[in-house]
């Protein structure tokens, strides 16, 4: 695996950090935060250091987050586009805040939220490249540090309130995209049937979980209920269509691990999977890894209530929710089985296949 050699990754990350000596100081240490699609480090001062020159959405801090991107996942142009959208979001919501004076974070209509921002290096750039001894190129970026507890660490009962706020913020993100003329031209992934659960899926073909070498030895095959669910999803997507009011630039991974909560503020991180997809996919992504929980119905209702405060949902949108949840689950089935070292994969892999079959049975039956 690309990130198996932790010492090598740390050395590469230190090369990225060297571009931020003026802004972050020369006495910073790196601490591993998470291994997923990318590998991230906490950047923290070890003594008296020059203060960070950039002010975060929620105040000046002595911490930052360094991301070393997985080689081959994104091109340089795609990573620059991610940075551009994050900065545009901060710019647009800052304007709204100044007009309404709602709170100290980027917000509207009483809901307080923050968006992690990229930090410029000493030469003003936001994206840097480093090479390992084999000539493999890695991209690195440093972002603002946002404090708070991951939403996934809070009980599902408590998450209901946050899901209403998340729905409202998600609608605001979608509205911003629809008003931003450059959004449709950004070089980012398209999260559609083929790239999510088709034979050319970016995260891998979920069918290989049942048809791979290990599965074949155990006498398994693709369960018919999953094939039926897959076919139903494809047909529903074809009928639903990709009109501008339904399909556009989305965060794509607004799950609990990428949402921090503190006080009344909801904080959004990790735009790495942002791309073009159906807007309702952002709801399905928010339910990642807990699709079979009894509380899901309540979470969906809360999200819908919040979304309608800032955006419009048609009956056709609501009717598609089960299809998007099932599609996301199949996408995650491939991810969980291919990203063996990722924290979420390790945490959920044991019963994920069983839960996916349970969800598919309910979906097909409905």
Q: Which domains does the chain have, with CATH numbers?
A: 6-146 (3.30.200), 150-365 (3.90.1200.10)
Q: Give the ranges where 18-146 is alpha helix by DSSP (H).
A: 21-24, 76-100
Q: Produce one character per residue of 30-47: b if its CB has 16 or more CB atoms within 10 Å, e if not.
A: beeebbbbbbbbbbbbee
The number of angstroms, rounded, from the C-alpha of 308 to the middle of its chain's C-alpha atoms is 22
Classify strands 149-150 and 137-144 as parallel, antiparallel or unpaired: unpaired
Classify strands 39-45 and 137-144 as parallel, antiparallel or unpaired: unpaired
E runs forming strands in 13-136: 28-35, 39-45, 63-68, 107-108, 111-115, 128-131
Helix (H) or strand (E) holding 52: none
Q: What pTM value is reported for the model?
A: 0.90
Question: Of the candidates 273, 223, 233, which has an alpha carbon nearest to the alpha carbon of residue 85?
Answer: 273
Q: Please report, for residues 25, 85, 204, 211, the alpha-carbon distance to residue 140 in angstroms, rounded to integers and kept in the order given.
A: 18, 17, 24, 36
Residues near 145 by beta carbon (within 8 Å), at least 6 away in sequence: 42, 43, 56, 61, 63, 64, 65
Q: What radius of gyration, in Å, describes the C-alpha atoms of the chain?
A: 21
What residues does 278 pair with on adjacent strands? 247
Backbone dihedral angles phi then psi of residue 334, each to the nearest 5 degrees = -70, -40
CA distance 4 to 100: 48
Q: How many CA atoms lie within 13 A of 100 on its CB side?
A: 17
Report the alpha-carbon angle 291-293-297, nearest 5.
80
Question: Of the candidates 309, 256, 246, which has an alpha carbon nearest to the alpha carbon of residue 287?
Answer: 256
For the record, the structure tokens of 162 come out as 């946050």
Cβ–Cβ under 8 Å, residues 284 and 196? no
pLDDT given at position 351: 87
What residues does 108 pair with on adjacent strands? 111
Q: 3-state DSSP call for residue 109?
A: coil
Digit-coded pLDDT (tens) for 329-340? 999 999 998 777
Helix (H) or strand (E) holding 277: strand 275-278
Report the alpha-carbon angle 127-13-71, nearest 5.
65
Cβ–Cβ under 8 Å, residues 56 and 79? no
CA distance 287 to 295: 10
- All residue ranges of the chain with pLDDT < 50 are 49-61, 100-104, 217
pLDDT given at position 126: 98
pLDDT given at position 94: 78
For the record, the structure tokens of 328 come out as 């996301």
Question: Of the candidates 242, 260, 230, which has an alpha carbon nearest to the alpha carbon of residue 323?
Answer: 230
Q: Produce one character per residue of 72-84: b if its CB has 16 or more CB atoms within 10 Å, e if not.
A: ebbeeebbbbbbe
**Tokens 């019963």 map to which residue?**
351
User: Count of CB atoms within 10 A of residue 51's CB?
Assistant: 13
């Amino acid at each position: 695996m690309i990130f198996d050699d932790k010492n090598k990754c740390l050395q590469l990350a230190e090369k990225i950090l060297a571009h931020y000596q003026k802004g972050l100081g020369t006495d910073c240490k790196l601490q591993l935060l998470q291994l997923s699609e990318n590998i991230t480090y906490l950047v923290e001062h070890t003594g008296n250091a020059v203060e960070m020159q950039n002010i975060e959405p929620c105040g000046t801090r002595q911490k930052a987050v360094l991301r070393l991107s997985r080689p081959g996942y994104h091109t340089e142009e795609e990573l620059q586009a991610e940075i551009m959208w994050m900065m545009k979001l901060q710019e647009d919501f800052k304007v709204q805040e100044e007009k309404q004076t709602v709170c100290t974070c980027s917000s509207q209509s009483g809901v307080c939220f923050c968006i992690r921002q990229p930090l410029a290096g000493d030469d003003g750039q936001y994206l840097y490249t480093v090479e390992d001894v084999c000539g493999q190129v890695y991209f690195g970026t440093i972002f603002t540090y946002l404090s708070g507890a991951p939403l996934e660490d809070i009980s599902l009962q408590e998450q209901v309130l946050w899901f209403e706020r998340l729905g409202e913020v998600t609608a605001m993100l979608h509205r911003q995209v629809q008003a931003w003329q450059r959004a449709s031209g950004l070089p980012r992934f398209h999260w559609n049937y083929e790239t999510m659960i088709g034979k050319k899926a970016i995260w891998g073909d979920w069918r290989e979980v049942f048809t791979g070498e290990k599965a074949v030895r155990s006498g398994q095959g693709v369960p018919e209920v999953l094939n039926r669910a897959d076919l139903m999803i494809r047909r529903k997507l074809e009928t639903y269509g990709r009109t501008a009011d339904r399909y556009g630039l989305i965060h794509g991974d607004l799950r609990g691990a990428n949402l921090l909560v503190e006080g009344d503020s909801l904080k959004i991180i990790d735009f790495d999977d942002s791309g073009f997809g159906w807007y309702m996919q952002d709801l399905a992504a928010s339910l990642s890894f807990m699709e079979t929980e009894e509380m899901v119905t309540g979470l969906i209702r809360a999200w819908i209530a919040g979304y309608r405060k800032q955006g419009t949902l048609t009956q056709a949108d609501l009717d598609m929710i089960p299809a998007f949840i099932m599609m996301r689950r199949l996408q995650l089935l491939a991810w969980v089985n291919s990203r063996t070292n990722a924290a979420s994969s390790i945490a959920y892999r044991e019963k994920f296949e069983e839960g996916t079959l349970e969800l598919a049975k309910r979906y097909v039956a409905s």
